Structure 1
Amino acid sequence: MFAIPAVLFAGMSKGGFGSAASFAATPFLALILEPGQAVGLMLPLLMVMDVTAIKMYWRKWDLRVAGVLIVGALPGIILGTLLYGFADPNVFKFLIGLVAVGFVIWQLGKSRKLFPQPKREMGTKSGLFWGAMVGITSFISHAGGPPAAVYMLTKRLDKMTYQATSVLVFWAVNIMKVVPYSFVGIFSKQTLTADLMLLPFAVLGVLFGVWMHHKVSEKLFFGLTYVFLAVTGTKLIWEALAA
């Protein structure tokens, strides 16, 4: 039952209601599951959300911006695969917690304009670098939103193009993660069975997120979410270090 609100939230974010926070379901689930189980459970659901969302934003993306990030993500995914093969599970719990807390800091800094907006667009080399960051953070905890945003925000995309480009990037990145996840044994019969039960909530969350994207203010909702995410991330870090 704990997974249902987490999946609904991720779906709402994928639908455009605070899309950068769609990874938040993974830290929440990591409180009750092993890190590998948490990311393995979420990937098939995120892929269903991607398909649902991509129909809503079809061909409204900037293909060049998306392509640079997608190509750059590949070495990051490869690095994540190698790290997972050698690291203790508590290392991944620590990394998930670290990304969660880092995300909250990034969001707060961005909202208070502590991170200056670049005065010129980033070039392809910078885009490939941030794409690699997308790959590694996405592999660890489906948290590629912030590094993707660092690059995309320099492109001065309008709201619709930005959201559509983000949807396309993570549709491709999530597909790219299937084989590596299978190779390192992240998927299991239990996670795939749970995915079947949670599938309707994934689709419902995306549709609800699209509606909320146009109708509802995000400020209070995500303010509370960031508090829970900071607490969750801190707890994961503490548990990993204690172990």
Structure 2
Amino acid sequence: MIDLPSLSFFAAAVPAVMLVGLSKGGIGGAIGLLGVPIMSLVVDPVQAAAIFLPILILMDAVALWSWRKFNDPKTLLMIMPGGVIGIALGWATSAYVSDDALKVVIASATILFAARYFWQVYGRRGTIAAPLPHRPVAATFWGSLSGYASFVAHAGGPPFQIYVLPMQLDPKNYTGASIRFFAIVNAVKVIPYFFLGALDGNNLTLSATLLPVALVSTMLGAAVVKHLKAETFYPMTYGLAFLAGIKLLWDGLPF
């Protein structure tokens, strides 16, 4: 029997989906990290993550269409194998590894990463490090961490940013590569989620009720980012990455 959603469910779920949709549209990963915690106010975290997965896949489809003309194929080729490895590790170790410990590790790296950028820009009179080239070992490491964090908590954005942002890609190409990476990651995640029993009829029904909100918010996020210049996009994205780190640290520490 399928349980009908209550008004309290929608009061939390609609804002949660809106924030993730804006993030999926390209605005940034920090606000997207708030989605599962907000929905967890009305359902347990495992169910919240399961409800979000079909919604994320729809958002990915909208974002892929919105950003179909922009991409950085080499970046995607370098980091994607690690992402798939991370999903496999998440599936294999989901019953043994603490989600909180993973959040603290990712949060610490992200906070230091963003703080370094702002020190270079504002603490050293605008001196910014030269763009980094592709690094296969780093790509595999951060891609794996991103895939793993995405599997366990839909929180793969910060590790992806740690690897890709220092290359200083064109903002539109950066966003296009990011959207493609997470679209593939979320599609692959369907297989383990299905075998873990998370995609049952009740959760899929709840997902379906939120799809219109997902569509509108994702298109809005894409429309905003396409009008941002690089000098606005990068400080904003690093700032959102810093907030993402703070949010993950707060979630992971045993208060």
* Alignment deviations for residues 111-132 of structure 1 (CA, whole Å, 9 cap, x no partner): 6237985763232222111111
Change (3 A) 1:114 1:81: farther
Between the aligned partners of 1:148 and 1:225, the Cα distance in structure 2 is: 10
In 1, are the aligned partners of 2:19 and 2:32 still within 8 Å (CA)? yes
Aligned position for 2:151: 139
Matches within 5 A, 1:186-225: 186-214=198-226
Between the aligned partners of 2:243 and 2:131, the Cα distance in structure 1 is: 31
Q: Which moved more, 1:43-52 or 1:12-21?
A: 12-21
In 2, are the aligned partners of 1:17 and 1:210 still within 8 Å (CA)? yes
Structure 2 residue 45 is the aligned partner of structure 1 residue 35: yes
Change (3 A) 1:238 1:16: same
Structure 2 residue 12 is the aligned partner of structure 1 residue 2: yes
Paired residue type of 2:59: M
In 2, are the aligned partners of 1:73 and 1:173 still within 8 Å (CA)? yes
Matches within 5 A, 1:97-176: 98=104, 102=108, 105=111, 109=115, 112-113=118-119, 117=129, 120-176=132-188
Q: Which moved more, 1:2-11 or 1:105-114?
A: 105-114
Q: CA deviation at 1:57?
A: 0.9
Aligned position for 2:90: 80
Percent same amino acid among aligned pairs? 28
Q: CA deviation at 1:181?
A: 1.0
In 2, are the aligned partners of 1:69 and 1:128 still within 8 Å (CA)? yes
3-state SS of paired residue (2:155):
coil
In 1, are the aligned partners of 2:131 and 2:167 still within 8 Å (CA)? no
Q: CA deviation at 1:67?
A: 1.9
In 2, are the aligned partners of 1:37 and 1:187 still within 8 Å (CA)? no
Between the aligned partners of 2:252 and 2:142, the Cα distance in structure 1 is: 25
Task: With the length of structure 1 as denominator, give the TM-score of the two structures.
Answer: 0.80
Aligned length: 234
3-state SS of paired residue (2:95):
helix
Unmatched runs of 5 consecutive residues or more in structure 2: 1-10, 122-127
3-state SS of paired residue (1:2):
helix
Change (3 A) 1:131 1:191: same
3-state SS of paired residue (1:112):
helix
Paired residue type of 2:156: G
In 2, are the aligned partners of 1:27 and 1:97 still within 8 Å (CA)? no
Change (3 A) 1:25 1:149: same
In 1, are the aligned partners of 2:30 and 2:244 still within 8 Å (CA)? no
Please report the RMSD computed on the Cα atoms of aligned residues, expressed in angstroms.
3.4
Between the aligned partners of 1:32 and 1:117, the Cα distance in structure 2 is: 44
Bigger radius of gyration: 2
In 2, are the aligned partners of 1:76 and 1:132 still within 8 Å (CA)? yes
Unmatched runs of 5 consecutive residues or more in structure 1: none
